[in-house]
Each structure stands twice: as structure tokens, then as C-alpha cells.
A and B are shown apart, each in its own frame.
Chain A
Amino acid sequence: MKRKFRQILMRFFLVMGCSTLCLQIRGAITEVHAAALPRVVLSAEFLAPRPIEQRTGETVTHDYAQAWQDLAEGLNANRTDLLGDYFTGEAKLRLTKRISDQKKAGLRTHYQDNGHRVKAVFYSVDGGEMQLEDQVQLEIQIFDGPKMIYTANSTQKYLVLMTPGSDRWYVRSLESVPNDAF
């Protein structure tokens, strides 16, 4: 009797495990988790008006992860030169200004990036703009010289606009939004 119950229980967990895995595969079109890059999971179930191609999804996911890595390194080392590869437009301007101000004030910011859940919500008909909603787990530490003046571990939401370049997607706008924004 005990053995039968154990078998039923095992079958139940097996079925549950499989169905969870299937849901994850359907929900996430692509995922990047290279050793050095932050973990980014992109889903595009409600994307409109243009559907996203698999290859484009992979590129966007990789380039967005790369952009966050550059952002984190730039803010930690106060180096604006790290922003040139994956940021453009307003996002690049703002981050460059932030890093310059940090440098002047003797501050630096350390981001411990614990992963992004990204939802692609708008992809223009001509393929020229893609808007993303990102929910990121961040541990933020701000230092004034060697002294830590601020630390927080929180979930933040970002509204992102990405545009394609010749060989990659660039982050054109990266704005943190209130938690109830989406």
C-alpha cells in the first residue's frame, strides 16, 4: 500500500515537473545566461503589431544582457567608454552624465544583477523599434570612496526602447518606472 502510494506520488511529481517545463519553454522564447552576462529571459507572447523572429529574439536578448553588463561595469568603474557598444541616444546620454557626476562626487555604484524577466510588448511594423518591459532583481550598493553609503536589494521595473543597428540592437531608452506601471 505504502509502495503504491509512493509510486502515485512520484508519477504526480513527474507530470507536474514536465508540465512546468513545457510552460517555461512556451513562455520564454529565448534566454541568455552566459557566464559573464546577466541572466535575461525574454518572452514575446503579446507582442504587436509585428511578430518577432526567433533569431531576432536571440539577438535582442543577448544585446540587452550585454548592455546591462556594460552599464554595471561602467557605473562601478566610472568608465563612460564602456557605454558605446550597446547604448545609444537618450540612454547613452543619461548614463554618461550619471557616470561623469559620480566621478566628480567621488562615488561609484555596484550592481549585483540577479536576473531580468523581459517582456517584448511593441515591435513596429517596419522593424525599427522594439519596446520591452523589464523586471529586474538588483542589489544596489553606492560607495563614497571606500565607504558604503547605500545598499538595497529590490525588484525594479524598466521600460526599454531598443533599435536595430547594422549588427546589433541598441538600448535607446532605459527608464525605471513605478512598480505599478506594468
Chain B
Amino acid sequence: MWRMIRNFCVVMVASALPALSQTVTIHAPSSVSAGSSFAIATSGRGSATFYLVGPSHVLKRTIALGQEITILGQDVTSSGSYQAVACGSEGCVNTVFQVLPSAPARLSFLLHPSRVPVSTPNAVNGTALVSDRFHNTVIAPAKVDFRLSLAGESSTRSVQTTRGVAWFEMGSRPKQGALQVVASLGDTTEPRVIQQVASDACGLRMTATPVGHLVKLETDAIRDCAGNPLPDGTIVSFTKTDNAGRSTVDTPIKKDKAIAQFQVSGPARISVACGVVAGNEVSLGGRP
């Protein structure tokens, strides 16, 4: 009988030994995708406090050691390094894992400038930043298409991202109007518009017509070298030099033309200019 009891005790102690000596461990996958649920394995006995510390989220809860800890996708939406820690009565153990961005899903597109003269080299540039649906930068290369269209003509450039960035630079088109640039990544599109405006005036010319004591000055239709009319409101300067001295009238273009009138005394010279462009000069003999 005593032998049986002794054997029973020996068996009980022997079977309990591995459990008593079992240390607490915690093991997570080395990397997971942002927003995906996964499990962290633990070993040991009893309960512990579990901590998950990430770039934008901290989790603290009581767990049963020896069971898997389920981490929900909503707890790992930010990419980056995470620390998982389990603290029991004997101390803390930890593991570090990386949350990687999920599939590309978002585009931030910046187009510059908002207004540009036609036919200007390297005047238009755009930058697209690619991120997943949780705003994590997608480091893996992705293809971004930039589709440019103006007045029925269109073209597309494909650019591979580097560390989540795709960019382009190009000259403005010869025609004025709204240049639409659409950046697209799969089904995601981001449209932007640049207003292309006429460039500097080309072949600026005016005529002078005497009207009583005055001289009426009127330009021809003011256009750039590609034939685009300069926008209304662009300032044209008429400068008169006569016996009374020198005077200038600044007047805005209205319906493609600029009009002004001067009173002249004696012989006079009148010139016209628009921005950096000088037009023709008119000489008048005296009082009209």
C-alpha cells in the first residue's frame, strides 16, 4: 500500500515538473499586413498582462498564458514597428514585429502651378504620393499614370513610384485653356486642373486716330506668338512724349484690344508696351 502511494506521488510530481518549469514565451509573426487580423502565440501557465505598443495604438489586457492572443486588424492599421509584451508574476517577455503597408489604395496628388503661360518649358510639375487605405506610405514600387488632356488632345505618362513617390515635369502646351491632369492608380483617380494662359504679346501694334483735340489710340487684337488672345484685364501701357513732357496711360485689355486717348501739344511720339514686350511707335506732327 505504502509503495503504491509512494509511486503515485512520484508520478504526480514527475508529471507536474514540466509545467512548473515551463517558462513564459511570446511569439508573433515577423511581419503582418496593415489591417489584417493575426494571432500571437504564448506559452506558460496562469494569467499575464499583455501589451501591444504600436506607432498609433496601445493595447493592454489580461490574457491566459498558453493560449493564442487574437489581434484584430483594427489594432494594427499603422505600419511600423510594434512591441508585444506579456508580463506575468515572473517578469516580462516580449517580441517585436513589423506591420507592413497593405495594397496601394490612395493617391495624394499635388500639381503645380495653378496658372501657367503657354509653351513654357518645364513649367508644370506634379507629385503623387501612394499610400494604402490606412494612409501608410506604400514603399513597394507601384505604377502611377498621369493623363494630360487639353482641348480634346490627350496623352498619358506612366511613372513607377520610388518609396511611394511618383513625379513628372513637363512644358506647358501651346494652346490656352484648362489643362486637366488626372493621376491614377488602379481604380483610384485624382483629377487636377491647371489654367494655361496666353504667353507674352507678339507683334503688338496700335493705330492713332485724331478726334478733335485728342488722339485716340487703339491696338490690334493682342495675341501671343501661338495666336492665343491675351486675357482681358492684362495691362497695356501707352506713353506719350510731347512739348508738355512725358506721360503714360495704363489701360486693361478689353475684348482683345486696349484703347486710350491723349491730348497732345506740338509734335509728339507715342509708344505702346505690354509687359516686357514693346510695340510700335507713332509720330504726330502737331495739334490735330
> Complex: how many Å from CA A181 to CA B83?
19
* Chain A interfacial residues counted at CB < 8 A: 40
Q: Does A118 contact B (CB under 8 A)?
A: no
Contact B127 A144 (CB under 8 A): no
Q: Does A175 contact B (CB under 8 A)?
A: yes
Contact A131 B163 (CB under 8 A): yes
State which of B49, B53, B113, B129 has its C-beta within 8 Å of the C-beta of A161: B129
Contact A97 B56 (CB under 8 A): yes
Residues of B within 8 A of A126 (CB): 110, 112-113, 125, 127
Q: Does A19 contact B (CB under 8 A)?
A: no
Question: Which of A106, A173, A176, A181: most chain B Cβ within 10 A?
Answer: A176
Using a CB-CB cutoff of 8 Å, which residues 129-182 of chain A contact chain B? Answer: 129, 131, 133, 140, 142, 144, 147, 149-150, 152, 156, 159, 161, 173, 175-178, 181-182
Contact A144 B125 (CB under 8 A): no
Q: Does B92 contact A (CB under 8 A)?
A: yes
Contact A94 B51 (CB under 8 A): no
Contact A128 B127 (CB under 8 A): yes
Residues of A within 8 A of B284 (CB): none
Beyond A129-B110, A149-B87, whether A175 also contacts B31 by CB under 8 A is: no
Q: Does B57 contact A (CB under 8 A)?
A: yes
Contact B51 A49 (CB under 8 A): no
A-B pair count, CB < 8 Å, reads 112
State which of B80, B92, B163 has its C-beta within 8 Å of the C-beta of A182: B163
Beyond A49-B167, A152-B96, A156-B81, whether A144 also contacts B57 by CB under 8 A is: no
> Complex: how many Å from CA A109 to CA B87?
16
Contact A128 B56 (CB under 8 A): no
Residues of B within 8 A of A98 (CB): 54-58
Contact B137 A173 (CB under 8 A): yes
Contact A125 B112 (CB under 8 A): yes
> Complex: how many Å from CA A121 to CA B113?
23
Contact A125 B169 (CB under 8 A): yes
Contact A102 B58 (CB under 8 A): yes
CB distance from A17 to the nearest CB of B (A): 36
State which of B49, B55, B163, B167 has its C-beta within 8 Å of the C-beta of A94: B55
Q: Which A residues lie at the B interface, using CB under 8 A?
A: 49, 90, 93-95, 97-98, 101-102, 104-107, 109, 121-122, 124-126, 128-129, 131, 133, 140, 142, 144, 147, 149-150, 152, 156, 159, 161, 173, 175-178, 181-182
Q: List 13 A-B contacts (CB under 8 A).
A: A97-B56, A98-B54, A102-B53, A106-B60, A107-B53, A107-B60, A126-B113, A129-B127, A142-B83, A142-B85, A150-B53, A156-B81, A159-B137
Q: Which B residues lie at the A interface, using CB under 8 A?
A: 31, 49, 51, 53-60, 78-81, 83, 85, 87, 92, 94, 96, 98, 100, 110, 112-113, 122, 125, 127, 129, 135-137, 139, 162-165, 167, 169
